[in-house]
Amino acid sequence: MKHILLVSALFAFTVLSGCKNSTSTPAGPTIIIPNVGSSWTIQNVRLDSNNVVKKTDTSTRYVAATNMTIAPYNDVVMTYETNPVTGKNDTAYLRYLSSGDVAHLSSPAIDPALPEWLTVPFYTHTAQSFNYGGSINYLGFTHDTVTFNTSFVKSDNDTIAGIVYPASFVMTTTTQKATSATKDSSNLNIQANSFIPSKGIFAGRKVSMNQVNGKQVLRVQQTVLSVNLK
């Protein structure tokens, strides 16, 4: 079975930027938006299916650009982080909404022609469910389907470098299935995220399940160790 990875900007620790949404949407919390060049260092603890730590490393995410235009929006922030395992850059595109929720650009890694802006209810607490996909032509696969579900869990505190901040916690489930007449591949990812609006960053991520074709693979628990705001 071919391992198909889903690219989702939510799953990276990211700084947000954006403009106001509909005037009918209540204003959300004040979000600090770091400038280009801001960065934060993350500890990545990688565990197997038995919760045994296989590797611990650190990485740094940088704010590369703000007020980018990705049609139809011109309030997009781009961040990137070099994966210490693969050496590849993980690039994330996000917007923050006046409601206090977060929108991120997500598309199947095998088909970047199928991007969608998905909303995570950090502030409105309204559960979101979305399906998308379409025809593809990649390594013998002919169709790709993605399901995205996310819901608010609780308001609580999170900690960066010993300082406690109010945060919002959500749970997100993403599934992807690529198929053809002769083969298929699937990816299931369930994870929790916390967002600290006063810093404009995600403070923690814990993947509780990451399965590829029914087999659980390494999960990651991430914690922000320090923040360098410009």
Q: What angle do CA 140, 146, 148 make, to 5 degrees?
A: 165
Q: Are 201 and 15 in contact (CB under 8 A)?
A: yes
* Buried residues in 113-146 as b, exposed as e (16+ CB within 10 A): ebebbbbbbbbbeeebeeebbeebeeeebebbbb
Under DSSP, the state recorded for 32 is -
Q: What CATH number is given for 6-228 in this structure?
A: 2.40.360
Interval 27-61: pLDDT, tens: 566 777 778 998 989 999 999 988 899 999 999 99
pLDDT in tens, 124-134: 999 999 888 88
**Number of helical H runs and strand E runs in the chain:** 0, 14
Return the higher-pLDDT residue of 13 and 160: 160
